[in-house]
Amino acid sequence: QVQLVESGGRLVQAGDSLRLSCAASGRTFSSYTMAWFRQAPGKEREFVAAIYWSGGGTYYADSIKGRFTISRDHAKNTLYLQMNSLKPEDTAVYSCAARGFGIHTTAPQYPYWGQGTQVTVSS
């Protein structure tokens, strides 16, 4: 069974940087796609970024392109999201997700989810 555990969320100020982590366990992820989604209060879950675990190819939502970077560490089986120049509108619960090969930007395409970590950006 795939298990995903996020960490790193906290209260920061606008303009700050923050790195989220997602520890993955339960299987070999070499053929998997890993992604970050976020959900703000009263809004639908939104795709943020995705990465091919094996090859490292990435895909980003336009809203965060140039500010956020997704990466992974094979040795630690950990997914990261480096967030720079944070804005109040980035405030949300950030969740990591996993699926088989292939990048998708919609949440139902991902069968495995972590519990989420809260990021709050104050102005």
- Looking at residue 64, its pLDDT comes to 96
pLDDT in tens, 27-55: 878 789 999 999 999 999 999 999 998 88
pLDDT in tens, 65-120: 999 999 999 889 999 999 999 999 999 999 999 998 888 999 999 999 999 999 99
- Looking at residue 27, its pLDDT comes to 81
- Looking at residue 104, its pLDDT comes to 93
Q: Where are the beta strands (DSSP E) in 14-116?
A: 18-25, 33-39, 46-52, 58-60, 68-73, 78-83, 92-99, 112-113
